Structure 1
């Protein structure tokens, strides 16, 4: 597995400290985030999943703990919209440049607004997808927010 992805390159260009962790990706897992947390021995609330959504037809990226579900109402509110829905997988792949199961908020093809679940900021480090299946980036949540230009918001149901 290559440890150089657009995500790791983007963080390196910004001078952001991070640690990479590899694990055996299971494409048949019910929850990719929970499977990654289990494989790496990390609490599910520290393993964040990257989801692509649309708010009033505009693409957005939301980052939430792997053991939680996004509230579409809260997602819309976080981006100043009225309605939110999950993006179709093919659209998410085209827009982000990553494959589902390996979508990272870092180094996406097109820069779009990002919101991170506020509760994730309480951890010393969190894990986010590294840009390919089976690769996670461990990073301080404030460093991740700064690198992404992200907003903290209440996003989970």
Structure 2
């Protein structure tokens, strides 16, 4: 899985050749930002949570955003509990540091946090600890088959300037 499944996924849109592979690791927000040459907030990180039942849910958020437990519970109706690295791999097919909402091992619900809307483009990982692709919010939504935009994060700048659409 991982990088190969993401490349295959992007072939549907002729975007597989746009995936960037780095010599250095891009496994954390800060490492990815350094590898790409952007501010950490422009890294679109994918967070994996226990959903109701067997399936996980994924929330993609800006690199500087943190999950707000109260907002998460209000939005989804259950407590935000992150998956272990083994559970993340089993659910997504991607290892920690390369998790993204593309080329998934299972059909998971993906949600996009409004923290990303302040940027024209962001850089999600592509299934490995040394890859990324530059995408607009609309492209992330389309390519991930995202369910909806949510407001479940805190700590990011310009919070009051973004409205949920």
**Structure 2 unpaired stretches of 5+:** 155-165
Q: TM-score, normalised by structure 1?
A: 0.83
Query: What pairs with 1:73-112 in structure 2 (closer than 5 Å)?
Result: 73-78=70-75, 80-112=76-108
CA contact (8 A) 1:99 1:132 kept: yes
Corresponding residue number in structure 2 for 1:10: 9
Describe the superposition over 1:36-88 as per-residue Cα deviations: whole angstroms up to 9, x where unpaired.
1122211222111111111345410011112221123323433x323221111
Corresponding residue number in structure 2 for 1:113: 109
Describe the superposition over 1:77-121 as per-residue Cα deviations: whole angstroms up to 9, x where unpaired.
33x323221111110111111111111210110011111111312
Deviation, structure 1 residue 17:
8.0
Bigger shift: 9-18 or 111-120?
9-18
Given the superposition, is the C-alpha separation of residues 48 and 18 from structure 1 closer, same or farther in structure 2, using an over 3 Å criterion? farther
CA contact (8 A) 2:50 2:81 kept: yes
Q: TM-score, normalised by structure 2?
A: 0.80
- Tell me how many residue pairs correspond in the alignment: 150
Take 2:113 and 2:39, find their aligned partners in 1: how far apart are those partners? 16
Describe the superposition over 1:14-43 as per-residue Cα deviations: whole angstroms up to 9, x where unpaired.
45588322331166xxxx112111222112
Pick the structure with more helix per residue: 2
Deviation, structure 1 residue 147:
1.8
Corresponding residue number in structure 2 for 1:66: 63
